[in-house]
Amino acid sequence: MISSNEFRTGTTIELDNAVFQVVEFQHVKPGKGAAFVRTKLKNVRTGAVVERKFNAGEKVPKARVDRREMQFLYKEGDSFVVMDTQNYEQFNLTADQIGDGVKWLKENMSINAAFFQDNVIGVEIPNSVELAVVETEPGVKGDTATGGSKPATVETGAVVQVPFFVNIGDVLIIDTRTGSYVQRA
């Protein structure tokens, strides 16, 4: 059990037969009445965000979430095969379990999987990845004066806006949180 006073961003709790992660929290002490904690909770299975108030000091069950390092091996049909790096056990994950990170997955990439009661409830990929450009328009001399950008397709199939000087075969560092170009590797 965890007190609502101990909520922090990222804390996982069990509520209404579901697992929620605290996205935002605010301790409120009105001039009149009892103190309370206003929260935004994200359902880790569905991704839905709900707002909920808890009385100060209210106890809720803390969800025991285990995080394990995994290695993405390959894509097989609609599933993604990953391997636990500790015991070499393999799992098939769906695109829904991986989320938006699916467009940045590269073979042999290390990822972290969150488990609740032996079920994968979420996957965290690295904040940045190195990917090669497989398709883009050639830059034309003089195009860089405006500081614009052009679309480029990387080896995973994702399309990223890049500066005009980027060419096919260049290896780029991409920020996976925003999907934006950082620099050439």
Same domain, yes or no, for 43 and 87?
no
Same domain, yes or no, for 78 and 120?
yes
Q: Is the pLDDT of residue 146 over 70?
A: no
Cβ-proximal residues to 125 (8 Å cutoff; 6+ apart), any chain: 98, 101, 104, 105, 109, 111, 176
Same domain, yes or no, for 50 and 6?
yes
* Stretch 51-66: mean pLDDT: 87
* Stretch 141-166: mean pLDDT: 80
Question: Could you say which of 60, 79, 96 is where a domain stops?
Answer: 60
Higher pLDDT, 117 or 58: 58
Total residues belonging to the chain: 185
Same domain, yes or no, for 53 and 75?
no
Mean pLDDT of the chain: 85
Report the distance separating Cα 133 and Cα 157, nearest Å: 9
* Stretch 82-93: mean pLDDT: 88
Q: Which of 4-8, 141-145, 150-154, 164-168 has the lowest mean pLDDT?
A: 141-145
| pTM (two decimals) | 0.67
- What pLDDT does 63 receive? 84
Question: Could you say which of 16, 31, 60 is where a domain stops?
Answer: 60
Residue with tokens 């590797």: 185
Q: Is the pLDDT of residue 143 over 70?
A: no
Split into its structural domains, the chain has a count of: 3
Same domain, yes or no, for 110 and 136?
no
CATH code assigned at 96: 2.40.50.140
Grade residue 56 by pLDDT with cuts at 50, 70 and 90: confident
- What pLDDT does 164 receive? 84
Note whether 78 and 94 are within 8 A (CB). Answer: yes
Tell me the pLDDT tens digit for each residue of 7-19.
888 788 888 888 8
Full residue range of the structural domain in which residue 74 is found: 66-124
- What pLDDT does 6 receive? 85
- What pLDDT does 51 receive? 92
